[in-house]
Structure 1
Amino acid sequence: MNTENRYPVTASLFMLKEIKHRQEQVNRGYQLLKRKAEALRMRGRQAASELASAQAIFGHTLREAYISLAAIKFTNGESNALVLENIGQAQVRVQRIPENISGVSTVSLQTLEETGVGDSLRYAGLGAGGHRTGEAKKAFREAVRILVRFASLRNTCILLDESIRSTLRKVNGIEKVIMPKLRNTETYIMMEMDEREREEFHRLKMVKAKKIRSQARAALRHAKSIGGAGEASELTSAVMLPSHCRSVECLSSILSCNSSMSVTTDSGDYKPVCYPHNWDDDDLLF
């Protein structure tokens, strides 16, 4: 397995548990980030629709306000200097209200009208066309209110767009990089642990077979030196041999068996070429 597609860890049971715990945490964070991205998308689409409607209304309101200003100029003449000279405290103020949208900190702007502030141009234009002056003031005040709302929605859309991009980058990084690496690391650890288990099982089988052969060789040598089959059976019963291999012929077959190795195609495990008949795996373990 390519080491670039997995984390450099040692194949052990502790690391396997650690990788599985990390996978659980990554899956939980992945689900939370996906929910956050969906919530931000819904809020972003809502803010975009409100922004489009506010932009359309703002254009119409501003056009009507400038038409009223043109009517005032036609009726009362140029009054810009008079307005600039009598500027005092602002009658419309902007308040910043912090909001939290699925973990994203935004600021909402709201207009506050100061009712106690005196209007120095309250009676301007009463001699000729005073009602037009009042209509122009109302139109521009409404335009300012819509402009503040438009600015608030635009700021929210920009912040939500940046947050959605960042969240989607995190989601794609977890889905395309971190999760495949964790899966490949878990597969690598499982393969290494299975390979070690097979090697250990094969080593135990070979050690057991070698031990049985040495015991059989010693029993057969002692039986030949004494020269009796009954005594040979008694000697073989004294050593740790299977119950069906307590005869001299069976001992001879064990000793004549080749100790070379081969690979079985059905199980994929290494086994000796020749074992005594009717041996099970349980007989080969300590």
Structure 2
Amino acid sequence: MNTENRYPVTASLFMLKEMKRRQEQVRRGYQLLKGKAEALRLRGRLSASELAATQGILGHTLKEAYISLAAIKFTNGESNALILENVGQAQIRVQRIPENIAGVATVSLQPVEEMNANDTLRYAGLGSGGHRTAEAKKAFREALRILIKFASLRNTCILLDEAIKSTLRKVNGIEKVIMPKLRNTETYILMEMDEREREEFHRLKMVKAKKMRSQAIANISRSGGGESNDEVRIRRSMPATHIRATECLTSILYSCHSLTSSSDSAGDFKPICYPHNWDDDDLLF
């Protein structure tokens, strides 16, 4: 398995449990981030729709306010210098209210009207066109409130858009990088542990076969070719495949033992059982 697609860990039971625990934690975090992204998307859609409606209302209100201002200029003449000279304490202030939207800190702007502030222009236009001056003041006051609301919604939409992009990057990183790496690491550990188990099983079979072969050779050399009661009992307890292999090995060893004392007339030794005639089931391992 490619090491770039998994974490560099040792194949052990402890690391297997650790990988499973990490996968559970990553899966839980993935679900939380996905839920957060959905909540931010929902709130972002609501804020965007409200922002579009507020923008339309703001355009209409500003148009009406500037029409009222044009009417005042037509009635009373140019009054910008008079207004600028009498600017005093602000009658409308902006209050910042912190909000938390699915873990994203935002600020909501709310207009607050100062009731104790002195209106230095409350008698402006009293001689002529006073009602138009009052209408213009009211229109611009309403436009200011809508403008503050528009700024608050626009700021919220910008923050939510950045938070949604950041959350989606985290979700995609977990889904496309971290979770596949954890799964590949778990698969690698399982494969290595299975391979070690097979190697250990094969080693135990080889050791067992070697012990049985040594025991059979010792029994043959001790009895001179005959079988004792212990050998009969061992033969009965052995599997059929091991019995065939032991008989073949016994015949070869017995023939080699008898070859030292006598041989046939031609002087050629022919064993009873050849290794190339063994079946796969006759192998001790």
TM-score range, shorter chain: 0.7 to 0.9
Relative contact order, higher structure (CA 8 A, sep 6+): 2
TM-superposed deviation, 1:35: 0.1
1:268 corresponds in structure 2 to: none
Q: 1:73 to 1:81 in 2, by over 3 A?
A: same
Q: Tell me the SS of whatever aligns to 2:228.
A: helix
TM-superposed deviation, 1:221: 1.3
TM-superposed deviation, 1:100: 0.1
Distance (whole Å) between structure 2 residues aligned to residue 17 and residue 259 of structure 1:
47
Q: Tell me the SS of whatever aligns to 1:112.
A: strand
Q: Tell me the SS of whatever aligns to 1:88.
A: coil
Q: 1:242 to 1:31 in 2, by over 3 A?
A: farther
2:197 corresponds in structure 1 to: 197
Q: 1:249 to 1:118 in 2, by over 3 A?
A: closer
**TM-score, structure 2 length as denominator?**
0.85
Distance (whole Å) between structure 1 residues aligned to residue 274 and residue 82 of structure 2:
118
TM-superposed deviation, 1:56: 0.4
TM-superposed deviation, 1:244: 4.7
Structure 1 residue identity aligned to 2:93: R
TM-superposed deviation, 1:11: 0.6
TM-superposed deviation, 1:126: 1.3
1:252 maps to 2:260: no
1:264 corresponds in structure 2 to: none
Query: Which digits, 9 at most, give the CA deviation of each residue in 1:24-50, with x for residues without a partner?
Result: 000000000000000000000000000
| Structure 2 stretches lacking a partner, 5+ long | 253-272
Q: 1:258 to 1:55 in 2, by over 3 A?
A: farther
1:40 corresponds in structure 2 to: 40
Q: 1:210 to 1:117 in 2, by over 3 A?
A: same
1:274 maps to 2:268: no
Cα contact 1:19–1:186 (8 A) shared by 2? yes
1:161 maps to 2:155: no
Q: 1:11 to 1:206 in 2, by over 3 A?
A: same
1:233 maps to 2:233: no
1:65 corresponds in structure 2 to: 65
1:198-213 alignment to 2 at 5 Å? 198-213=198-213
Q: Tell me the SS of whatever aligns to 2:141.
A: helix
Cα contact 1:259–1:273 (8 A) shared by 2? no
Q: Tell me the SS of whatever aligns to 2:282.
A: coil
1:120 corresponds in structure 2 to: 120
Cα contact 1:258–1:274 (8 A) shared by 2? no
Q: 1:171 to 1:24 in 2, by over 3 A?
A: same
Cα contact 1:212–1:241 (8 A) shared by 2? no
1:16 corresponds in structure 2 to: 16
1:269 corresponds in structure 2 to: none
TM-superposed deviation, 1:14: 0.6
Q: 1:258 to 1:28 in 2, by over 3 A?
A: farther
TM-superposed deviation, 1:79: 0.7
Greater Rg, structure 1 or structure 2?
Answer: 2
Structure 2 residue identity aligned to 1:253: C
Aligned partner (choices 216, 227, 243) of residue 237 of structure 2 = 243
Q: Percent identity?
A: 73
Cα contact 2:244–2:282 (8 A) shared by 1? no
| Structure 1 stretches lacking a partner, 5+ long | 261-271, 277-283
1:7 corresponds in structure 2 to: 7
User: Over aligned residues, Cα RMSD in angstroms?
Assistant: 2.4
Q: 1:15 to 1:56 in 2, by over 3 A?
A: same
Distance (whole Å) between structure 1 residues aligned to residue 17 and residue 76 of structure 2:
85
Structure 2 residue identity aligned to 1:26: V
TM-superposed deviation, 1:274: 2.6
